[in-house]
């Protein structure tokens, strides 16, 4: 499957049982909720997926299960966040073997690599696989920025590097990317609190977080703005913002999992060292979620708007 880099692609959470094993039944519930809402792809094993805590076997199980559940309807991407080029190449091979449709790749972990080292890292992975690749550019959290000059070098020799998850928090970067690369590099905005702004100035899609609890609202915002129904998109987005702000915190995994509990498509179990929320923090986050649910908007018909315009 070739990838259409647009629409909403959830960075899905990994569901665990109380006994700290994969909860594939609940994983199925959430994936089916995403597909029903109309998402355009599934991204596994990112920060929200608690990737750093997963075993190699668990990653493979999640990939195979997601591919099975999706049944070819949308692409399934696995995240690669490794310390060595060798490990990243091996993971790319395994992902392809297990049926993934594409990869999302971070720069090398832990070591603050130079620009040259980052470029060579991405090149080596891209040349090792036939899978389409989205580079995750998040210098705020991961301390390495993939600059436009670095992208220019990568795009010259790596045709399967096709998209960027743009999480620099600088929305002007969207215009810079479009001005320099046109449609050669698709832009998937990666920050929930900047999503609508980013889409309106040229981002092609949205790798989303709160979609794990609120898939329909997330997809509705994307589809409405795409159809030019900006006022309706803004109204939903303004309602959504207190929830979207849960995505820009170090405990985003716990916060977003809590949101999915309240919408019936997730659980709050996390893998240590993360802990479930308790005390004042739990009360505060639950209040944000419950306050939003109390005034949850009735969505307009947002599917197939392109056919109606």
Q: Which tokens go with 80?
A: 């690669």
pLDDT in tens, the chain (309 residues): 579 999 999 999 999 999 999 999 999 999 999 999 999 999 999 999 999 999 999 999 999 999 999 999 999 999 999 999 999 999 999 999 999 999 999 999 988 999 999 999 999 999 999 999 999 999 998 899 999 999 999 999 999 999 999 999 999 999 999 999 999 999 999 999 999 999 999 999 999 999 999 999 999 999 999 999 999 999 999 999 999 999 999 999 999 999 999 999 999 999 999 999 999 999 999 999 999 999 999 999 999 886 544
Each domain of the chain, given as residue ranges in start order, spans 7-308
Indicate whether this model's pTM tops 0.85: yes
- Which of these, 154, 191, 189, lies nearest to 175 by C-alpha position? 189
- Which of these, 235, 241, 247, lies nearest to 210 by C-alpha position? 247
* Superfamily designation of domain 7-308: Aldolase class I (3.20.20.70)
Distances, alpha carbon 172 to alpha carbons 56, 167, 175, 242, in Å: 38, 12, 5, 24
- Residue 201: how many CA atoms within 13 Å on its side-chain side? 16
Integer Cα distance of 189 and 247 in angstroms: 13
Q: How many helices (H) and strands (E) does the chain have?
A: 13, 8
3-state helix, strand, coil in the chain (%, to 5): 50, 10, 35
- Residue 81: how many CA atoms within 13 Å on its side-chain side? 21
């Amino acid at each position: 499957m070739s990838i259409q880099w647009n629409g909403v692609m959830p960075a899905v959470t990994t569901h665990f049982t109380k006994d700290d094993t994969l909860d594939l039944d609940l994983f199925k519930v959430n994936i089916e909720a995403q597909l029903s809402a109309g998402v355009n792809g599934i991204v596994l094993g990112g920060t929200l997926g608690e990737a750093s805590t997963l075993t190699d076997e668990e990653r493979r199980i999640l990939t195979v299960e997601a591919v099975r559940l999706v049944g070819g309807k949308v692409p399934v991407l696995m995240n690669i966040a490794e310390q060595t080029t060798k490990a990243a190449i091996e993971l790319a091979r395994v992902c392809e073997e297990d049926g993934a449709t594409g990869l999302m790749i971070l720069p090398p972990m832990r070591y603050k690599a130079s620009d040259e080292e980052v470029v060579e890292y991405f090149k080596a992975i891209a040349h090792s696989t036939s899978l389409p690749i989205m580079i995750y550019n998040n210098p705020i959290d991961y301390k390495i920025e993939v600059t436009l000059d670095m992208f220019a070098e990568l795009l010259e020799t790596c045709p399967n590097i096709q998209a960027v998850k743009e999480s620099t928090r600088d929305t002007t970067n969207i215009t810079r990317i479009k001005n320099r690369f046109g449609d050669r590099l698709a832009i998937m905005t990666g920050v929930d609190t900047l999503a609508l702004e980013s889409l309106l100035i040229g981002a092609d899609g949205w790798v989303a977080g709160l979609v794990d609890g609120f898939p329909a609202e997330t997809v509705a915002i994307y589809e409405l703005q795409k159809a030019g129904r900006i006022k309706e998109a803004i109204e939903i987005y303004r309602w959504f913002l207190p929830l979207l702000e849960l995505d820009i915190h170090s405990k985003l995994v716990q916060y977003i999992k809590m949101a999915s509990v309240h919408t019936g498509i997730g659980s709050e179990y996390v893998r240590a060292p993360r802990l479930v929320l308790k005390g004042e923090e739990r009360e505060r986050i639950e209040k944000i979620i419950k306050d939003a649910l109390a005034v949850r908007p009735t969505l307009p018909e947002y599917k197939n708007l392109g056919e109606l315009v």
